[in-house]
């Protein structure tokens, strides 16, 4: 580079963050941010992923000025959920594969996932060389969260029984939960 040339550093177009333990615990939020207007405006897509069973369990889209995104939103997620950087191409691949895994089991992505996916503009999942393995111990694993109703849990377990067959999936319910019989693989 000659003395007359100036090195121009452009802000990144995207960043992605995910929890270190996503595949160990089965669920976590993934953030993809797209920097607009020279990096002063940020569009963020947040995807709550259930990589063991339900795919894109929840999603939302939000816009921020850069300072609010970095100082408040991003910092809060990083501190609360031990999040680390992920290549944006791998973030897109992860969201799309989680969605496809769940669709194959009969579970649709959250209705807001399409809007949140707006942040993927300019990102190609094909550029990600990482591979992701869904399910837990080789099988889908439904883990009933504290907000799941008895009817929701019942529908999910019935769908797993229909799609996977008895003994080919796992279910975790809170201790003493009366939602399902002791062996949900017997449903059908």
- Cβ distance 60 to 112 under 8 Å? yes
Average model confidence (pLDDT) for the chain?
Answer: 89
Q: How far is CA 69 from the centre of its chain?
A: 19
Q: Using the 8-state DSSP alphabet, how is residue 26 labeled?
A: S
Could you report the per-residue pLDDT of 24-72, keeping only the tens digit for each?
Answer: 999 999 999 999 988 789 999 999 999 999 999 999 999 999 999 999 9
Q: Using the 8-state DSSP alphabet, how is residue 71 labeled?
A: I
CA distance 143 to 2: 60
């Amino acid at each position: 580079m000659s003395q007359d040339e100036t090195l121009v550093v452009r802000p990144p177009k995207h960043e992605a963050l995910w929890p270190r333990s996503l595949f160990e615990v089965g669920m976590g939020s993934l953030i993809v941010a797209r920097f607009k207007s020279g990096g002063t405006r940020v569009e963020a897509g947040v995807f709550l992923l259930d990589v063991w069973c339900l795919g894109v369990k929840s999603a939302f889209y939000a816009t921020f000025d850069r300072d609010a995104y970095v100082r408040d939103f991003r910092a809060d997620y990083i501190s609360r959920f031990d999040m680390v950087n992920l290549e944006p191409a791998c973030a897109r691949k992860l969201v799309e594969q989680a969605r496809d895994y769940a669709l194959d089991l009969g579970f649709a992505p959250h209705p807001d996932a399409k809007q949140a996916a707006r942040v993927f503009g300019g990102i190609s999942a094909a550029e990600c060389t990482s591979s992701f393995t869904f399910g837990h111990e080789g099988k889908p694993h439904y883990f009933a969260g504290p907000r799941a109703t008895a009817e929701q849990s019942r529908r999910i377990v019935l769908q797993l029984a229909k799609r996977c067959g008895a003994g080919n999936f796992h279910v975790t319910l809170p201790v003493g939960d009366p939602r399902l019989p002791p062996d949900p693989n017997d449903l059908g």
